[in-house]
Structure 1
Amino acid sequence: MYRRALLALALTTLASLAIAQDGRGGRFDDDLFSNLEGDWSLTRSIGGKELNNSASATWVLQHQFLLLKMRDAGIPSRYEADIYIGYSRARAEYVAHWIDNFGAQFSAVGRGKRNGNSVEFRFEYPDGPFFNTFTWDPETKTWSCHLQSVAKDGTRKTFARDTLTRQQ
C-alpha cells in the first residue's frame, strides 16, 4: 500500500514537471512559430515599391523566445529589426518585443492571440495602435505579415506586406 502511494506521488510530481510553465525552466515550444526557425528571403511591399530583405529566426534565452532578425539588402542596412517572440501561459497570449534601428522611442511590445495559423500582434504607440499579423501557410511553407496602421477614424490602413520564403 505504501509503495503504491509513493509511486502515485512520484508520477504526479513528474507529470506536473512536464506541464509547460512560464519562467525559468519553462520552454516556449510552439507548433506555429517553430515553423519560423531558419533563414528566409523576405519580400516587402511598401509604398508601391517591392524591397528584398533577409530574415533569420533562432531560439534564444534558453528557448524562451524565438528571435527574428530582419535586415534590408543595403550595405550598410538602412533598416534592421530584432523581434523577440514568446508566449505567456499566464495570460494565454503571444508577446512580440519589436526593437529596430529607429531606437528606443519607437520600440514596442505587441500582444496577440492565435487564430488558426495566424497571430495578430497589437502594438500600442502614442499616435495609436499598430497591427502586425503573422500567418503561416503550411501548404506553401511560407509566412506572410500584414502590417497595418490605424487612422484617427479607427479604420485600418495597410502599411506593408511581407512574404517570407525559406532560403534553399
Structure 2
Amino acid sequence: MITQSCASQIFLPRKHATLAHLAIKARSFGTLKLLMEHLPELIKSTYEKGWRPLSYAANKGCLDEVTYLLTQFPKSAEECDKDGSFPIHKVVGGGHVSIIKAFYEHCPQTLHHIDNKGRNVLHILHIAVCYGRDDIFTYLTEELKMDDSFMNLKDIFTYGLTFITLSLFNLFYS
C-alpha cells in the first residue's frame, strides 16, 4: 500500500519522472486531476530536467492539463524551475499557441517574467522568430499590442538585432 507521504515521491527509475509527470506524459487528464486533488504537493515535484508539472505540460502542449494547473494552482506559473526559467519560457520552446493563450488568459503577468539569464517577453519573441514560429510571434505581438517602439527594441541575446532584422535574417538564411 502506498501512503500519501511517499506517493508523491514515487519516481520511474530511468527517467526520474514523478506521478504527475507520468500522467501528463500519458495525456491522462483524469489521472492528473485525481492525483492533484489528493496530492497537491505534486505541483512542486520535478523530474530529471528540473521541470515542474506545469512546465512539462506546457512544453508538451497538453492544453487541458495546463488549463487545469493554471486555474487550480496559479502560483505554479510564478515559480522557477531548477534551470531558473519559468513555465512561460517552456511554452515558447514547445511552440504551442494554444498554451500561450491559456497563460495569457489565466496568468497574463507571466509574459513579463524574467528568468535567471535576464530573458523576458522580448527574448520569448526572438525565440519564436528564431524557430520560425510566426504563429506565436503574431499572437504575442497582437495580444500585447506592441507598438513600433517596442518592435524596434534590440535584444542582447541576438547581438542587438531587432525583431524585423532577425525575421529577415531567418527568412533569407533558413
What's the TM-score, normalizing by structure 1?
0.24
Bigger CA radius of gyration: 1
Q: Larger % of helix: which? A: 2
